[in-house]
Structure 1
Amino acid sequence: MSISTMSCFSFSILLVITSQALLFIPLAYSNIIGHSTLTCRSYCGNLTIDYPFAIQSGCGHPGFRDLLFCINDILMFHITSGSYRVLDIDYAYQSLTLHDPHMSNCDTIVLGGRGNGFVVEPWRAPYLNPVADNVFMLIECSPESPLFEGFPGKHLPCGNVSGMGCEEYYECPAWEIIGPNRVGPVYGSGPPECCSVSFEAMEDVNLTKLGCQGYSSAYSLAPLRVSGPDGWSYGIRVKYSVQGNEAFCKACEATGGSCGFDTDGNSDLCMCGRWNSTTNCDSVHSASNRIRWTLMDALAGYLICLIIWRNLLRLQ
Structure 2
Amino acid sequence: LMFHISSGSYRVLDIDYAYQSITLHDPHMSTCETIVLGGKGNGFEAEDWRAPYFNPTSDNVFMLIGCSPKSPIFQGFPEKKLPCHNISGMSCEEYMSCPAWDTVGYRQPSLSSGSGPAMCCAVGFESVKAINLSKLECEGYSSAYNLAPLKLRGPSDWAYGIRVKYELQGSDAFCRACVATSGTCGYESVDSGGLRHVCICDHHNSTTNCDSVDRPTGASSTIP
TM-score for the superposition, normalised by structure 2: 0.79
Q: Distance in 2 between matches of 1:127 and 1:167?
A: 32
Are the counterparts in 2 of residues 257 and 280 from structure 1 also a CA contact under 8 Å? yes
Aligned residue for 1:174?
100
Q: Kindly provide the amino acid, as one letter, of the partner of residue 166 in structure 1.
A: C
For residues 99-178 of structure 1, what are the structure 2 equivalents within 5 Å?
Answer: 99-150=25-76, 153-177=79-103, 178=105
Q: Structure 1 regions of 5+ residues with no counterpart?
A: 1-74, 285-316
Taking only the aligned residue pairs, the percentage that are identical comes to 66
Counterpart residue type for residue 128 of structure 2? M
For each residue in 1:61-86, what CA deviation from the matched residue of structure 2 results, as whole angstroms up to 9, or x when unmatched?
xxxxxxxxxxxxxx111111101111
In the alignment, the residues of structure 1 paired with residue 159 and residue 29 of structure 2 have an alpha-carbon distance, to the nearest angstrom, of 13
Contact kept, 8 Å, 2:97 with 2:107, in 1: the verdict is no
Q: Which region of structure 1 is more displaced relative to structure 2, 273-282 or 213-222?
A: 273-282
CA shift for structure 1 position 270: 6.3
Q: Which deviations, in whole Å up to 9, do the C-alpha atoms of 1:50-106 show, x marking residues without a partner?
A: xxxxxxxxxxxxxxxxxxxxxxxxx11111110111111111221111111101111
Q: Quote the Cα distance in structure 2 between the aligned partners of 1:271 and 1:121.
A: 24
Is contact 1:138-1:214 (8 Å) kept?
A: yes
Alpha-carbon distance, 1:262 to partner: 9.6
Go from structure 1 to structure 2 and tell me whether the alpha carbon gap of 1:82 and 1:275 turns closer, same or farther (over 3 Å shift). closer
Cα gap change, 1:247 to 1:149, in 2 (>3 Å): same
Distance 2:134 2:18 in 1: 35
Distance 2:71 2:62 in 1: 16
The structure-2 alpha-carbon separation of the partners of 1:261 and 1:201, relative to structure 1 and needing over 3 Å to count, comes to closer
Quote the Cα distance in structure 2 between the aligned partners of 1:282 and 1:224.
45
Q: Label 1:141 to 1:262 Cα distance change in 2 as closer, same or farther (>3 A).
A: closer
2:132 is equivalent to residue 206 of structure 1: yes
3-state SS of 2:99 partner: coil
Question: Retained in 1: the 8 A contact 2:7–2:44?
Answer: yes
1:267 shift after superposition? 6.8
The equivalent of 1:228 in structure 2 is 154
Supply the AA of the counterpart residue of 1:137: M
Alpha-carbon distance in structure 2 between the residues aligned to 1:107 and 1:220: 18
Structure 1 runs, 4 residues or longer, greater than 4 Å off: 256-284
**Quick one: distance in 1 between partners of 2:206 and 2:29?**
44
Amino acid at match of 1:116: N
Task: Output one character per residue of 1:29-56: Cα deviation in whole Å (capped at 9) or x when no partner.
Answer: xxxxxxxxxxxxxxxxxxxxxxxxxxxx
| SS class of match (2:149) | coil
Inter-partner Cα distance in structure 1 for 2:9 and 2:65: 20
Question: Which amino acid in 1 is paired with 2:161?
Answer: G
In 2, are the aligned partners of 1:180 and 1:193 still within 8 Å (CA)?
no
Amino acid at match of 2:106: G
Map of 1:266-305 to 2, 5 A cutoff? none
Specify the SS of the correspondent of 1:242: coil
Contact 1:141 1:210 in 2 (8 A): yes
Cα distance change, pair 176–280 in 1 and its aligned pair in 2 (3 A): closer
Distance 1:189 1:99 in 2: 33
**C-alpha RMSD over aligned residues:** 3.1
Amino acid at match of 1:96: I
Aligned to 1:226, the other structure's residue is in SS state coil
Partner of 1:85: 11
| Higher strand proportion (structure 1 or 2) | 2
Gaps of 5+ in 2: 214-224
- What's the CA shift string for 1:175-209, capped at 9, x where partnerless? 2232258359xxx9420100000111111111110
| Separation in 1, partners of 2:44, 2:16 | 20
TM-score (ref. length: structure 1): 0.57
Q: What number of residue pairs does the alignment pair up?
A: 207
SS in 1 for 2:9: strand
Question: Are residues 269 and 171 of structure 1, via their aligned partners in 2, closer, same or farther at CA, if it must alter by over 3 Å?
Answer: closer
Larger radius of gyration: 1
- 1:150 and 1:268 map into 2 onto residues whose CA distance is 42
